[in-house]
Amino acid sequence: MFEFVWVWMLLLLPLPWLVRRFMPAVQRHQQAGLYIPFAHELYDNNAGNDAEKNSQPWLLWLATLAWVFLIIAVARPQWLGDPVEVSRSGRDVMLAVDLSGSMQIQDFTLHGQQVDRLTATKAIAGDFIQRREGDRLGLILFGSQAYLQTPLTFDRVTVYSFLQESAIGLAGKKTAIGDAIGLAVKRLKDKKNISQLVLILLTDGVNTAGALAPEEAVAMAKKIGLKIHTIGIGASQMKVESFFGSQTVNPSKDLDEAMLKSIAEQTGGQYFRAHDSDELKHIYALIDKLEPIAADAQMFRPVQALLVYPLAMAMFFACLVLLLYGRRV
pLDDT per position as a tens digit, 242-282: 566 666 666 677 788 899 999 999 999 989 888 888 888 88
How close are the terminal C-alpha atoms of the chain, in Å? 46
Output the pLDDT for position 329: 56
Output the pLDDT for position 48: 47
Output the pLDDT for position 183: 93
CA 276 to mean position of chain CA atoms:
33
44 vs 201, residue with greater confidence: 201
| pLDDT tens digits, 61-88 | 888 888 899 999 998 888 887 776 655 5
Average pLDDT over residues 144-162: 91
Cβ atoms 277, 266 nearer than 8 A = no
Helix (H, G, I), strand (E, B) or coil at 325: helix
Give CA–CA dist 253/282, Å, rounded. Answer: 23
Instruction: Note the pTM of the prediction, 2 decimals.
Output: 0.60
Query: How many CA atoms within 13 Å lie on the side-chain side of 262?
Result: 13
The residue among 203, 136, 125, 122 whose CA lies nearest residue 164 is 122
CATH no. of 89-294: 3.40.50.410
| pLDDT tens digits, 90-133 | 677 899 999 988 888 887 888 878 888 899 888 888 888 888 87
Give CA–CA dist 23/18, Å, rounded. Answer: 8
Q: Can you give the residue ranges of every domain in the chain?
A: 2-25+32-81+301-328, 89-294
Share the mean pLDDT of the chain: 80
Give CA–CA dist 322/311, Å, rounded. Answer: 17
| Beta strands per DSSP E along the chain | 2-4, 77-80, 84-86, 89-90, 92-98, 108-110, 113-115, 136-142, 146-153, 197-203, 227-233, 238-242, 245-249, 271-274, 293-294, 298-300, 303-305
DSSP conformation letters of 257-307: HHHHHHHHHHHT--EEEESSHHHHHHHHHHHTTSPPEEPPPEEE--EEE-T
Q: Which of 23-32, 87-96, 154-163 has the highest mean pLDDT?
A: 154-163
Cβ atoms 176, 143 nearer than 8 A = yes
Q: Residue 231 pairs with which residues in a beta bridge?
A: 202, 272
Is the pLDDT assigned to residue 24 strictly greater than 80? no
Output the pLDDT for position 245: 60
Give CA–CA dist 130/136, Å, rounded. Answer: 12
Give CA–CA dist 113/106, Å, rounded. Answer: 10
Output the pLDDT for position 111: 81
Give CA–CA dist 196/255, Å, rounded. Answer: 28
| pLDDT tens digits, 210-239 | 889 999 999 999 988 889 999 988 887 666
Output the pLDDT for position 162: 93
